[in-house]
Chain A
């Protein structure tokens, strides 16, 4: 399936960025959800969004100041207690020390198919051109 890749450069060393990825109280500040994360391989992550939605994740790789990856479990619980299926995706966050600070790169892709076809926003031609270009990129 297609892959989402995003990155940002933070003007701080990896040693200052890493705790923001692994300490629950800090992740909760920027993630958009209340996070309880056990940042060890096999550890659980519980994410609760303001609308009451809850998702769970399992931590896969932990390389301090370098890499954190986790897999979303393929369901979410709504505020009303319903359990719904969601796409099974895997998130990999890597830190690279660069001259400006730390480059933080996120790759989220299907846990079913790790092929790295990329989504693109540009496209051309035909009624389904933009859609196909995005998928075929």
Chain B
């Protein structure tokens, strides 16, 4: 995935309320800001602001429904963000194993 994208995603997800919004969307399915605010300890206006940030990061998409927008999770960027982290962890696993082997290699063979 594109790295500038990754930064946008991670900074969007760094906020605990936005993670709650994502979680609520995941549980409720496609919802309006009003529908989400009903189950969150924040105002509809605050939810709307967070939804805009999440949409900018590509984490949610919206469709117009009457006077409100219906938001839903866009699963791909979330999955990509997690797999980027998993790849990074796997790279360090490999490097640390190689570091140990290197330190244990007799010096004359280095």
Contacts and interface: CB of A to CB of B under 8 A. Distances in A.
Nearest to A123: B82
A12 B91 contact: no
A97 interface: no
A71 to B, nearest CB: 14
Interface in A21-64: 21, 26, 29-32
A95 to B, nearest CB: 11
Interface in B73-90: 73, 75, 78-79, 81-82, 84-86, 88-89
Nearest to B89: A4
A113 B82 contact: no
A10 to B, nearest CB: 5
Interface in A81-137: 84-89, 104, 106, 108, 110, 112-113, 115, 117, 119, 121, 126-132, 134-136
Counting contact residues on chain B (CB < 8 A from A), the size range is: 35 or more
Given A1-B14, A131-B78, A136 B23 contact: yes
Chain B, interface SS category: helix
A87 B10 CA distance: 10
A4 B13 CA distance: 16
Contact of B97 (A8, A21, A88, A121): A8
B45 interface: no
B7 A128 contact: no
A24 B2 CA distance: 29
Nearest to A26: B102
Contacts of B78: 128, 131-132, 135
A128 to B, nearest CB: 4
B38 interface: no
B104 A6 contact: no
B99 interface: yes
Contacts of A11: 104
A119 B82 contact: yes
Contacts of A84: 2-3
A88 B11 CA distance: 11
Interface of A: 1-2, 4, 6-8, 10-12, 16-17, 20-21, 26, 29-32, 74, 84-89, 104, 106, 108, 110, 112-113, 115, 117, 119, 121, 126-132, 134-136
